[in-house]
Structure 1
Amino acid sequence: MKAVVNEAAVHGKEVSCDLIYSSTVHALDAAKMGVKWFEHASGIIQAMYPGWQIRSDENSWNEVDWYEPNSSKIREVCEVLLEYDVILCPTLTLYDQQERLGNGWSPDHPIIQKTFENEALIQQWQRVSQYEAALLRTGKQTTLIKEISRIYASLGGRVVAGTDTPAGIWTFPGMALHRELELFVEAGFTELDAIRAATNRAAASLNRQDLGVIKEGAVADMIILTENPLLDIKATQQIKLIIKGGETYSAEDLFQAIPTQEEAEQAFKHFLNEYEKTHRDLTD
């Protein structure tokens, strides 16, 4: 990992890591090596409880304060992470949906209804859902990851919104981000800070000053809502219009543009034919 970080630095690149299943490297180790982004806010629990990792036995699991997080332990680790200015992307919806196995978040919304038409994705989630023990173990981390995210942000650390969709189960593309904002608020973020985590703070973390803000010279991609999300974060789901590339769209417009299964298969075959033709030309 250290070699990867060093080589990335030569090319001006930052390194992101997922330490959920790590048994030998925790968040403090990775931060000291120069890793910048911590997906799923992973590796922090291992740093707090050195004897624990996700494949540990029940005794090790029982030593962790899952539902009454130890704020002192969290703060101790987060203060060190802050020294290295690491960025946390907690993907709370990924954990939450696994904790809610069998009773997941699935509001009555046209986008979610449309998602169920994607047979391959639904079948994937249904297959994964059979591994109940593994899913519930991952989901058990939800409350603790929420508190880690809140405390790190309260110290001045950068926490950004992400979902890892379609990983795990029922992380509905598009809608999962709205759920992520709800979970940020549940964790103790204000509605405004939750929105910032998905807009200007996320963009700034990517060194993109032209995204996530409304100002002259910025990319004018916006959504127009029917209600105020600062009063209720769920209002981010009440989208009246999408503005993209100087054009306005409604959800219905976008639904109509989604290719049928047959159209998608034809496009894929065309892509393969063109790829093989190009490959042959390059080989010749």
Structure 2
Amino acid sequence: MFRQKYATYRFIDGEPGLWGPTPYGNISKNNIDTALAAVDELHKQDAKFVKVYGNIQEDVLEAVVKKSSKLNLEVAVDILHTKSIDSIKAADHGVKWLEHASSIVHSLYPDYNTQISVDEFERISQIEVSEQRLTEVLTYLIEKEVKIVPTLSLYRHLAEGRIFNPPELDQSKQMKLLDEDKVFTVDDQFNEIDSQLNDHFRSRQKWEYEQVKAITEKHLELGGEVYTGTDAPAGTWVYPGLSMIEELNEFKRFNLNNFEILKKASLDAKE
């Protein structure tokens, strides 16, 4: 039985907030004082880290990291949708965690962001980044002690939809219980999101999925810290628990044995 509960405070975003204006879940302001007040509040609540989001401005990020560092709090970022802060800039400011391995793609493809046009994406997606450039970026991040959580199962489901790995998960007892649940109703959320995803979005997610796989493989090869996570139940078809099985299967491609993979999802994650 679990006897400890962990709650989170709002994450720090910029304007316009990716989840809208400031509500109970996030702070969406391009204001340093507001962001620093949020860091103070997190510290008072005995938080272990601060999380910032994709529209944060660089001057706000710099201030948040400096303040957090003084309070012995590490900063994690989900900046998948950033237009201005790549992984090198984030590392230079002192960010220690890149959730979804976010913004590394931006370091490899400086013209890329998730809001570019279809034609611009088609151009960028044809570019092949050299092994040397990938190694340079990841080596720099490792020197800065940056850790990544690639959430490959999330990328794959956004690209492929409701296809499970392994397929047997779809027939599992856990899935049956989720289908019967009348409170969580996560499938309603997934179906609503899924209905709004067009072919171009899926092709872009497929491209990002392939990029993040290559990033993860090289980061591990270079001795970088990589951890397992799924972001469940965000996005589509990523279920708490079940998706961790999918994520462990994703890690089979990275020349890790079963013990090493399980260790990443248990002892290393706890650490």
TM-score by length of 1: 0.67
Q: Paired residue for 1:23?
A: 83
Which is higher, the Rg of structure 1 or of structure 2?
A: 1
Query: Which residue pairs with 1:137 in the alignment?
Result: 204
Q: How far apart in 2 are the matches of 1:72 and 1:142?
A: 20
Q: Which moved more, 1:170-179 or 1:135-144?
A: 135-144
| AA of the residue aligned to 2:174 | I
Cα offset for 1:199? 2.0
Task: Tell me, yes or no, if the aligned pair for 1:147 and 1:187 is still in contact at 8 Å.
Answer: no
- Counterpart of 2:137 in 1: which secondary structure? helix
1:95/1:139 contact within 8 Å kept: yes
Is residue 33 of structure 1 aligned with residue 98 of structure 2? no
**Residues 11 and 96 of structure 1: is their aligned pair in 2 closer, same or farther, counting only changes over 3 Å?**
same
Which range is displaced more, 179-188 or 164-173? 179-188
Corresponding residue number in structure 1 for 2:30: none
SS in 2 for 1:78: helix
Kindly indicate whether the alpha-carbon contact (under 8 Å) linking 2:125 and 2:207 is maintained by their aligned counterparts in 1: no
| 1:162-205 deviation line (CA, Å, top 9, x unaligned) | 0100011110111111110001113443333322221222233x
C-alpha contact 1:66 1:143 (8 A) present in aligned 2: no
Tell me the amino acid that sits aligned with residue 147 of structure 1: A
Q: Is the 8 A contact 2:156 2:205 kept in 1?
A: no
Q: For structure 1, list consecutive stretches of 5 or more residues without a partner in the other structure.
A: 205-284
Aligned-partner Cα distance in 1 for 2:191–2:130: 35
TM-superposed deviation, 1:63: 3.9
1:44 CA displacement: 0.3
The amino acid of 1:84's aligned partner reads K
Instruction: Give the AA of the match of 1:25.
Output: I
Are the aligned partners of 1:66 and 1:140 in contact in 2 as well (CA < 8 Å)? no
Write the letter of the residue equivalent to 1:123: D
Cα 1:15/1:116, change in 2 over 3 Å: same
Which residue is equivalent to 2:174?
111
For residues 245-283 of structure 1, what are the alpha-carbon distances to aligned partners after superposition, in whole Å with 9 as ceiling and x for unaligned? xxxxxxxxxxxxxxxxxxxxxxxxxxxxxxxxxxxxxxx
2:102 aligned with 1:42 = yes
Change (3 A) 1:114 1:47: same
CA change 1:9–1:176 in 2 (3 A) is same
- The structural deviation recorded for 1:104 is 4.5
Pairs within 5 Å for 1:40-79: 40-64=100-124, 70-79=130-139
The Cα of 1:50 is off from its aligned counterpart by 0.3
Q: Which amino acid counterpart does residue 71 of structure 2 have in structure 1?
A: H
Q: Comparing 17-26 with 62-71, which one deviates more in the overlay?
A: 62-71
Please list, as runs of the form range in 1=range in 2, the aligned pairs for 1:205-284 lying within 5 A after superposition.
none
Partner of 2:250: 183
Do 1:69 and 1:143's aligned partners in 2 also have CA atoms closer than 8 Å? no
Cα deviation for residue 142 of structure 1 reads 1.0
SS in structure 2 opposite 1:158? coil
Confirm or deny: 8 A CA contact 1:91 1:164 kept in the other structure: yes
Contact 1:66-1:141 within 8 A present in 2 as well = no
2:157 alignment partner AA: Q
Corresponding position: 1:82 with 2:133:
no
Matched with 1:253 is none
Superposition RMSD in Å: 2.1
Cα shift at 1:140: 3.0
What is the alpha-carbon distance in structure 1 between the residues aligned to residue 131 and residue 256 of structure 2?
16
- Aligned length, in residue pairs: 204
CA contact (8 A) 2:232 2:240 kept: yes
1:123-149: CA deviation from partner (whole Å, max 9, x where unpaired): 110000012233543343112101101
Paired-residue identity, %: 26
Residue 174 of structure 1 is matched in structure 2 by 241
Equivalence for 2:226: 159
Q: Distance in 2 between matches of 1:92 and 1:70?
A: 22
Contact 1:95 1:141 in 2 (8 A): yes
Cα pair distance change 1:124/1:45, threshold 3 Å: same
Q: Describe the SS at the equivalent of 2:180.
A: coil
